Amino acid sequence: MLENVRLFADVPPEYLQQLEKLSIPRRFPKNTVLVTEGDESSHLYIIRKGTASAFLTNEDGRQVNLNYMQEGEYFGELSLLDGQPRSASVVTVTDCEMVLVPRAGVLELLNKHPVFAMVLITELTRRVRDLTDSVKDMALLDVYGRVSNALEKLSDDNKRIHNPKVTHQDIANMVGSSREMVSRIMKQLLIGEYIEQCPGYIEIKKQLPRYW
């Protein structure tokens, strides 16, 4: 399993075998809160099957979805490194199978295998760049453009957004807008034949507009 995760792609098999012996396979039903923002950290979570969503909430209960994660993706690496509380909450969107890798095993791998440390640095850098792009989108694009970007991020290589169905409220939480506004934009994208609602998925048919 671990060899299929980008984070561990260049780690020698003997190290991965040691890490897998320490890892814990777990199953979680849909709508299970896996970690809560502010929790103490003890494991790296790797998704074997299913989909999970990372999100933030404020004191008023308003929620912002950061991203959706699927098979082969992982979360919790920041807290493992700095020992600080979780920076976001994560909930399962579908039934999920995961592997929990203990913090001690990851830190030992960092000490013994410098190549893994470089891979982890590269991955963290990629995530910082993604965050920078998200901040740029929120600051410079109107809601239309933010919805377009969200749809592209949710789509696969075939430009399809598969089940579980992403609701208009989910997209609104991702782009910092209201569900009503997102519904109007989605209707316009359908009318303009930018997207097509198919059985079980939404397909992006052509380049999505960046502005209203």
Which pLDDT tens digit goes with each residue over 101-138? 988 888 888 888 787 888 888 888 887 887 787 777 77
Give the pLDDT of residue 187.
93
Encoding tokens for residue 100?
């929990």
Closest CA to 77 of 41, 33, 118, 25: 41
- For residues 166 and 67, give the distance between their C-alpha atoms in angstroms, rounded to a whole number: 12
pLDDT for position 164? 63
Which residues does 74 contact at the CB level (< 8 Å), separation at least 6? 5, 7, 44, 45, 46, 47
- Of 145-149, 183-187, 207-211, which range is least confident? 207-211
SS3 171: helix
Whether pTM exceeds 0.75? no
Please give the average per-residue pLDDT across 2-6, as a whole number. 79
Measured CA to CA, the distance from residue 148 to residue 51 in angstroms comes to 21
Range of weakest confidence among 4-18, 69-83, 139-153, 171-185: 4-18
Nearest to 189 by CA among 154, 140, 138, 151: 151
Buried/exposed 2-21: b ≥16 CB within 10 Å, e otherwise: beebebbeebeeebbeebbe
Task: Taking residues 174-183, report their average pLDDT.
Answer: 89
Walk me through the domains of the chain, giving residue ranges and CATH numbers.
2-137 (2.60.120.10), 142-204 (1.10.10.10)
Q: Please compute the mean of the pLDDT values over residues 20-44 and round it to a whole number.
A: 90
Average pLDDT of the chain to the nearest whole number? 86
Q: Are 144 and 209 in contact (CB under 8 A)?
A: yes
- Smallest CA-to-CA distance from 37 within 91, 82, 93 is with 91
Q: What is the mean pLDDT of residues 8-33?
A: 86
pLDDT given at position 188: 92
Query: Strands of 24-28's sheet, edge to edge?
Result: 24-28, 96-102, 43-49, 74-75
